[in-house]
């Protein structure tokens, strides 16, 4: 069983992570090493990460992190920034397919 810990700091104050087989961390790659030291048996993955180089390095450099899921693969309409933006630019592939 797995779940994304959108807030690992708060989740670690509960028993919730203990019932998971695999713990997902949302946008908290900086906590991987610290939490691995405190919870060495916890299996970690990036359940929601950015497309940035640092997110990739966090997986590459830590053998106890088995992978990541990037939000999002493709840019999309909605969840936008201030006007005149009309869509998200978080994806690996833009709306033109590039």
pLDDT in tens, 47-68: 999 888 999 999 999 999 999 9
Residue-level pLDDT at 27: 93
Q: Is the pLDDT of residue 6 over 90?
A: no
pTM: 0.81
Residue-level pLDDT at 71: 79
pLDDT in tens, 73-90: 888 888 777 888 888 888
**Concatenated DSSP letters of 28-74:** -GGGHHHHHHHSTT--EEEEEE-SSHHHHHHHHT-TTEEEEEES-SB
């Amino acid at each position: 069983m797995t779940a994304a810990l959108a807030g690992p700091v708060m989740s670690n104050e509960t028993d919730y992570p203990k019932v998971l087989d695999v713990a997902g961390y949302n946008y908290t790659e900086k906590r991987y090493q610290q939490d691995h030291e405190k919870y060495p048996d916890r299996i970690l993955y990036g359940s929601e990460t950015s497309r940035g180089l640092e997110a990739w390095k966090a997986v590459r450099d830590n053998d106890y992190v088995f992978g990541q899921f990037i939000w999002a693969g493709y840019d999309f309409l909605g969840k936008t920034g201030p006007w005149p933006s009309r869509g998200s630019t978080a994806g690996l592939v833009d709306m033109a397919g590039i």
